[in-house]
Amino acid sequence: MSVEITRLPSGLTVVTDAMSHLESVSLGVWVGAGSRDERPDEHGISHLLEHMAFKGTKRRTARQIAEEVEAVGGDLNAATSVESTSYYARILRADVPLAVDVLSDILSNPTFDPEELQREQNVIVQEIGASEDAPDDVVFDKLQETAFPGQSVGRSILGTRETVRSFDRKRLAAYLARNYRSPDMVVAAAGAIDHRALVEQVAQQFASFDGQAPPTPAPAHFAGGNYIEKRDLEQVHVALAMQGLPQRDPNLFSMQIFTSVLGGGMSSRLFQEVREIRGLCYSIYAFHAPYSDTGMFGLYAGTDATDLPELMRVVVAEVANASETITEVEVARAKAQMKAGLLMALESSSARAEQLARQIFAWGRPMPLAELVAKIEAVTVESARAAGRALIARGRPAIAALGPGSGLESAASIAEGLVPRAA
C-alpha cells in the first residue's frame, strides 16, 4: 500500500491510498456524526440530512447533482450509521476535481428547499414503513433500543414518522452547523489518486467547515432487558446482545476471534450445532459492533416458534461452552478468516477508502496491514476464552423476540440464564 495522510490547519484529515493499477478513484467525506449525535428532539435528523444533501445547493439543482457525476460515468451515494455519516463517489481519475467539487458543494451549500424537503420526508416515511414490514430489521432496532434504553445510541437511525416530518430547513441547518466540523471530518480516497493534488483541492473547497470540534455525545450505558412482540409471522426472529468492547480496547481482537468462532461462518459452533446437527433454523450468526466508548456483541436466529426454546437453550450453552473450550484449531481458522477478509478488502478501492476513514476515527491514524495482522496473530486460545468469559460477566443481556407463539417470554428467560453462568 501507498498510504499518505495530511492534516490541514482546520483539523480536517485527508488520507489516500494510491493503487497504481487502477484508472478509477473511490473518494468520500466521512463525518464523525451519526444518529448518536442527535438530541432527543432530533431523532432521525442525521439520516434526513444525508438525504437532503443531494436535493439541491446554491449552485446545483438535485437533478444537476446526479447528472454531472453520471455524465462522466461516475456514481454518488451516502450512508448514515450510529457514529458517522459518509458521502462518497466513484469516478475516473480525471474527474476527481469534479467529485471533490460536488461533495463539498452538497455539504457546504445545501438549500434545504421546502418542497424538496417535504418530498424527501415522504420518501423516508416510506422507508420506515418498509423497515417495519421486515421483521429481521425490526428485531435489530428493538435489540438496540433494549440494550441502550433512553439513549440516542439506542434509537433507530431512520427516526419516526412524527420526528422526520417535524424537521424544517432551520433545524437541518443548525444540526449541520453543530456537527459537520473539520476536526471531525475525514476525506479519504483510494485508487488512481494524487495525494498532493487532492489535499490542495480539499483545503480550498472545504474551508467553510473550519471551527471547533462538535460536542461529544453522552457516554453509552448498556442496560439489557427484554422486548417481546407477538406478530402473525411464519417464524420467530430473535436477537440477543451483551455489552461488547469499544474500538480501542486492547482485547478487541480477542473478542472478534471469539465472535467468529462462535457464529462467524458455516464452520462456526452455532451454525454447526444449531443448523447442521439439530436443524433448528435456516439463519444464525454472531457479530460484534464496536463503538467509540462501548460495543455490542450480538446473536441472531430465525426459527419456528415450536423450536425456539430448544434453540435458545443450545445458544446459551454454546456461548458459555465456547468461553471455556475454544481450541487452537478454531482460533487458527478464525484468524485466517479475519486476515483473508482484510486482504480481500484491499482489492476494492471503495473498501480501502472506507477502511482508512474508519481507522482515522478509531485510532487517529491509518493502521498498516502488518500491524493489523500482528494484532490478529497475537490472539491466543486463552485470550479468546477470556474475552468470552468477560463478555458473559458484564451482566444482563438484551433480548428482542418477534413472532408467533406463546413461548417468546420463556425463550427470553432462557437467554438470561447466561448471567448465572458467569458467577
**DSSP labels, 51-71:** HHTTS-BSS--HHHHHHHHHT
In the 8-state DSSP scheme, what is residue 212?
Answer: P
Cα–Cα distance, 239 to 302 (Å, whole number): 9
Contacts of 329 (CB under 8 A, 6+ apart): none
Question: Which of 38, 42, 50, 116 is flagged as catalytic?
Answer: 50
- 300 Cβ neighbours under 8 A, 6+ residues apart: 136, 139, 140, 237, 238, 239, 283, 284, 285, 287
Nearest to 105 by CA among 69, 68, 67, 53: 53
* C-alpha span between 303 and 325 (Å, rounded): 27
Contact partners, residue 294, CB within 8 Å, separation at least 6 = 153, 219, 220, 222, 243, 244, 245, 246
Q: Which residue has the cell 423476540?
A: 401
Active site residue 127: no
Name the residues annotated as catalytic. 50
